[in-house]
Amino acid sequence: MENIFTWEDQQNREFFFENIGSLGVNSSEDYAFSIIIAVYNSEDFIEETINSVLCQTFDFNKIQLILVDDGSTDKSFEICKSFALKFPRNIILIHKKNGGVSSARNVGVSFSSGKYLNFLDSDDKLGENVCSEVFHFFEENENKTDVVTIKVKIFGDKTGESWYNKKFEKGNRIINLFNEPNVYLNSTNCTFFHKRVKSQLHFDTQLSIAEDLKVVNTVLMNKYTLGVLSSCLYFYRIRAKGSLVSTAKLKEMWYLVYLEKVYFWLYNKSIKQTGRFLEFLQYTLLRELYNRLNNNVECVDVLKDPFILDIYKTTLFQALFLIDDKVIKNSVFLNTDYMLYIFSKKYGKPSITVKNDSVHFSWLNGLDIEKKLYANFEMCSVRNNELVLEGYVVLNNICYLDDEYSLCISLNDDKKKIQIIDNTNNNYLAFADEYIFYRKYFKVNIKLPKQKSKIMLWLCIDGQYIPYQVYGYDYWFGVDDKVNKSYFYDNHFLLTISNGMLYLEKSSNFLALKHEISLLRQLKCMGKKDNIYRKAYLLRLYSNIFKIIPHRPIWIISDRCVGAGDNGESFYSYVRKRKRINSYFAINKNAADYKRLKGEKFKVLPIGSDKYKKKYLLADKIISAHFDHDELYPVGSPCLKDIKAKKMHVFLQHGITKDDVSKFYSRKRQKIDRFIVAAKPEYKSIISNKNYFCDEKMVCLTGFPRYDKLVSRTEKIILIMPTWRNELVKFGLNSQDENINGEFIHSYYYNFYHELLSTLADNKDIKELGYKIFYFPHFNMQVTNRYFMNIAGIHIVEGKERNYNNMFAKAAIMVTDYSSTAFDFGYLRKPIIYCQGDCEEFFRQHTYTKGYFDYEQNGFGNVTKTVEDTVEEICKLISRGCKIEDKFKTRINEFFMFNDRKNCERVFNAIIEDL
């Protein structure tokens, strides 16, 4: 077909459209649009993208669609070909070897003949009226602009409006970039260009990101105008597998090459063309530089050579220093702390003065920045007849806490220095190893005052006190400023908020009842207009009525929303026998274990149901092995925060914590009041890691409840149990197929375990001795089981058979990689093999950070790197009758604190013991 080409750039160099202009197809056609789509492995989306062009309200006969397949390895080319064959007059299909999106677009430009050009991404869509709206706008403003951009709508794994759309708030118009320089445009996909600038639509193939920004802003320097259309939409797809930006940050080229090829290139072009650094370019490039400062620590790992890292940092600051001060101060995306950071790098440390309850930072050149101080309250509780307040204040690298700068709290005017919890959790690393702003966490114990007292936080600077403004009361804090009758009452301590200030006073049950009645009246009134408050009113009423009736304490226990069989189930089996406790087991109604638990007479509580919400409000303790979102946050109303704040949260865990998981499980995230652990080094690691925010009283070395049920009934089973690979399977998406990375079959995980399982299944010695191969992957990896079903002679553990205790009891050998379930197997003193050929990659990509446990020094078995070594190790163990070596048995004995059947009892006692 005349409209299907194979383009091979034999010399592997970038070509320019003027060199091959004679190859254009249908160049005599009078096309209104040339829409160029660079296609690479887009089989899941490209049909939808092409159809969005075919279904335009604009006459498709006037649209030239150029599809440039950039060496796809999936079915993208075949899909494109089917469209090209169907529409030979309008669609050109070009197949070329892989060279990146820039080279593909450059090829597409060379074949274009439309009056207006666009570069639609292969997984995005155009709204049906885009071409009509763009055509009429361009025709009405023929000589006023070369560039028109349209509104962006986000869809896919995330939905919503884009921050990019601010420029469209005034409707369809032409923006003069001299009058409105703070306009940001960095994309060609949602932008259309007049053919008269075709020679400038050349994408730099040395750039993996920001190639669009370079092209767009080059063209904008022709007329210094931009057309904006709010009357049509570009649909931009967000995928869960990660953005191009996050991928690019892992490559060294993203750092220095970008600054040279984009930032300084545009700067030099502006100076040469106009004699100055154009203001609209400054705003655009400042936004790009800000993205490099914003919590960007990857550069330390990528630029491993300190000399190269230093060059990058120096170059980046040189780029920042070219930006005018007024541009920095007027940027809507830079908060005060970023401005202070940039100016302190540019002009040195400022002088600090206190004026009007704020801090003023001043430089000798007259530059002055005012900053208010902000704090956040996270939790409140009454312990040992004291009110415990927890939260954080926000500081920057200029205004920090030391001997000269201290944090104080006051009741009325009595100011006292308070305890700071020194840690870096949730802090904001600006650039490499430097902070721009960060949080300092505090915990303060307050005795009950004699009179009503206003609670305030202060920063003391050289004897001068600056007040902190409270900008938030978190989910676990007992009061909220969104409801003015909100209150927290416990053991005569009464917390209220008035006019934005927090007050503490001594109270009684009678006075607390008066507050409750006032709050209920307010909620009832608000409920007439808003159903959220109506529900909150009914739930509080229900909770109050329940309090009047004599009742046993309610404990809600769980494993995870979608399953049981872990510490939660074992502990529930123990607690249900204690008649003075009214215990429930929480699980999703559609979970596989739900019917089984009902059959075993568990008092099952369906998570997400109205029944669960009611029992949650009445419960004294929430006890879980996972703390899934739906069980922790069933009611979000701020009118119920005092009820939620009083609950004790007990984290049973779902495995030994051998690595640093503090960014997922900590007191700050789940309000953990008891952190149950089973091993001595585990206990020490959590106590010493301040990012867990758990002190020695909160971390309880008791052993795991499920260990009480561990028994050994060894059969001839080799159990293969690899752990989760977050980069291969995203947990929590709606479609299981979408969870799996498209590159799964090329991954180390697939190739290693497919080969290992196949080799074990074919091993004659193993077969003759009667050993069976059981494949039991991590819960989140079950969606990949189908990739292993073609291996004859293995058994994949699925469904109801996925019972850890039963599998551990029967298996003779466990083969794993990094799974914490190996500790359970080791607890039974059975042999383990750790397969860790991808150790470096695993800890680089996985969700947690490597911790105290060293597999070579502390492991309960030998570490292997290859399939051959693993099979050899298995055969050695079989020849020894699957007996664990003495050195590993010694390690196990030294690791675990207990080896008895009293783990549930110790956990129970730890829960009922007062802090």
Q: Where are the alpha helices (DSSP H) in 55-194?
A: 76-86, 101-110, 130-140
- Which class for 704: exposed (0-12), middle (13-18), buried (19 or more C-beta within 10 A)? buried
Which secondary-structure segment (H or E) carries 535? helix 531-548
What was the pLDDT predicted at 353?
Answer: 87
Instruction: Answer whether 588's CB lies under 8 Å from 594's CB.
Output: yes
What was the pLDDT predicted at 915?
Answer: 45
Distance, in Å, from the CA atom of 375 to the CA atom of 418, rounded to the nearest integer, reads 14
Q: Scanning the structure block, which residue is given the tokens 């800890």?
A: 843
| pLDDT, tens digit, 9 for 90 and up, residues 841-855 | 887 766 567 788 999
What was the pLDDT predicted at 844?
Answer: 72
**Residue that wins the pLDDT comparison between 257 and 617:** 617
| pLDDT, tens digit, 9 for 90 and up, residues 583-614 | 999 999 999 899 999 999 999 999 999 999 99
Residue 540 token pair: 């509080």
Extended beta strands in 172-219, E state: 173-176, 191-194
The CB-side HSE value for 862 (13 A sphere, CA atoms) comes to 15
Write the DSSP symbol of residue 592. Answer: T
Query: Which of these, 142, 140, 145, 116, lies nearest to 56 by C-alpha position?
Result: 116
pLDDT band for 659, please (50, 70, 90 cuts). confident
| pLDDT, tens digit, 9 for 90 and up, residues 255-270 | 888 899 999 999 999 9
Distance, in Å, from the CA atom of 235 to the CA atom of 165, rounded to the nearest integer, reads 12
Which secondary-structure segment (H or E) carries 60? none
Q: Where are the alpha helices (DSSP H) in 830-885?
A: 839-845, 855-858, 867-879
Average pLDDT of span 133-142: 96
Cβ density class 365-395: b for 16+ within 10 Å, e for less: eebebebebebbbbbbbbeeeebebbbbbbb
Distance, in Å, from the CA atom of 383 to the CA atom of 385, rounded to the nearest integer, reads 5
pLDDT band for 748, please (50, 70, 90 cuts). very high
Distance, in Å, from the CA atom of 706 to the CA atom of 518, rounded to the nearest integer, reads 47
**Residue that wins the pLDDT comparison between 299 and 560:** 560
Taking only Cα atoms into account, the Rg of the chain, rounded to an integer number of angstroms, comes to: 32
Q: Where are the alpha helices (DSSP H) in 146-252?
A: 211-223, 244-248
Residue 239 token pair: 């995928």
Question: Any idea which of 13-22, 76-85, 446-455 has the lowest mean pLDDT?
Answer: 13-22
What was the pLDDT predicted at 415?
Answer: 85
pLDDT band for 732, please (50, 70, 90 cuts). low
| pLDDT, tens digit, 9 for 90 and up, residues 387-406 | 999 999 888 877 766 656 78
Query: Which of these, 29, 21, 47, lies nearest to 123 by C-alpha position?
Result: 47
> Does residue 701 surpass a pLDDT of 90?
yes
pLDDT band for 245, please (50, 70, 90 cuts). low
Average pLDDT of span 768-789: 94
Distance, in Å, from the CA atom of 914 to the CA atom of 829, rounded to the nearest integer, reads 35
pLDDT band for 433, please (50, 70, 90 cuts). confident
Extended beta strands in 88-185, E state: 91-96, 116-119, 125-126, 147-156, 160-161, 173-176
Residue 883 token pair: 């007996």
| pLDDT, tens digit, 9 for 90 and up, residues 274-297 | 999 999 999 999 999 998 887 667
Q: Measure CA 148 to chain center.
A: 34
pLDDT band for 17, please (50, 70, 90 cuts). very low
What was the pLDDT predicted at 354?
Answer: 86
The CB-side HSE value for 330 (13 A sphere, CA atoms) comes to 14
Instruction: Answer whether 585's CB lies under 8 Å from 603's CB.
Output: yes
> Does residue 250 surpass a pLDDT of 80?
no
Average pLDDT of span 146-167: 88
Average pLDDT of span 516-522: 95
Average pLDDT of span 646-669: 92
Query: Which of these, 469, 462, 339, 463, lies nearest to 393 by C-alpha position?
Result: 469
Instruction: Answer whether 473's CB lies under 8 Å from 520's CB.
Output: no
Instruction: Answer whether 412's CB lies under 8 Å from 461's CB.
Output: no
| pLDDT, tens digit, 9 for 90 and up, residues 202-217 | 999 988 788 999 999 9
Average pLDDT of span 490-510: 94
Hey, how many other C-beta atoms are within 10 angstroms of the C-beta on 882? 18
What was the pLDDT predicted at 846?
Answer: 60
What was the pLDDT predicted at 20?
Answer: 33
Instruction: Answer whether 875's CB lies under 8 Å from 833's CB.
Output: no
Alpha-carbon distance values, 207 to 41, 103, 244 (Å) = 20, 10, 12
Distance, in Å, from the CA atom of 59 to the CA atom of 72, rounded to the nearest integer, reads 30
What was the pLDDT predicted at 813?
Answer: 97
Q: Where are the alpha helices (DSSP H) in 303-417?
A: 306-321, 325-330, 336-347
DSSP for 689-710, please give it: -GGG---TTTEEE---GGGGG-
pLDDT band for 479, please (50, 70, 90 cuts). very high
User: Can you state the angle between helices 610-618 and 531-548, rounded to 10 degrees?
Assistant: 50
Q: State the average pLDDT for the chain.
A: 89
> Does residue 21 surpass a pLDDT of 60?
no
Instruction: Answer whether 145's CB lies under 8 Å from 196's CB.
Output: no
Hey, how many other C-beta atoms are within 10 angstroms of the C-beta on 868? 12
Average pLDDT of span 790-801: 92
Q: Scanning the structure block, which residue is given the tokens 């299981």?
A: 736
| pLDDT, tens digit, 9 for 90 and up, residues 58-114 | 999 999 999 999 999 999 999 999 999 999 999 999 999 999 999 999 999 999 999
Residue 589 token pair: 């109604």
Query: Which of these, 766, 579, 67, 808, lies nearest to 816 by C-alpha position?
Result: 808
Q: What is the dihedral of CA 834, 838, 842, 845, to 10 degrees?
A: -170
Phi, psi (degrees; rounded to nearest 5) at 187: -125, 140
> Does residue 425 surpass a pLDDT of 80?
no
Three-point CA angle 338, 341, 342, nearest 5°: 90
Distance, in Å, from the CA atom of 744 to the CA atom of 728, rounded to the nearest integer, reads 6
Average pLDDT of span 320-324: 96
pTM for the whole thing? 0.80
What was the pLDDT predicted at 680?
Answer: 95
Query: Which of these, 637, 693, 695, lies nearest to 669 by C-alpha position?
Result: 693
Distance, in Å, from the CA atom of 572 to the CA atom of 584, rounded to the nearest integer, reads 8
Phi, psi (degrees; rounded to nearest 5) at 215: -70, -50
| pLDDT, tens digit, 9 for 90 and up, residues 24-53 | 344 446 899 999 999 999 999 999 999 999
Extended beta strands in 533-651, E state: 554-558, 582-587, 604-606, 621-624, 648-651
Which residue type occupies 723? T
**Residue that wins the pLDDT comparison between 899 and 17:** 899
> Does residue 119 surpass a pLDDT of 90?
yes
> Does residue 528 surpass a pLDDT of 80?
yes
- Which class for 816: exposed (0-12), middle (13-18), buried (19 or more C-beta within 10 A)? buried
Which residue type occupies 466? I
Q: Scanning the structure block, which residue is given the tokens 């400022």?
A: 350
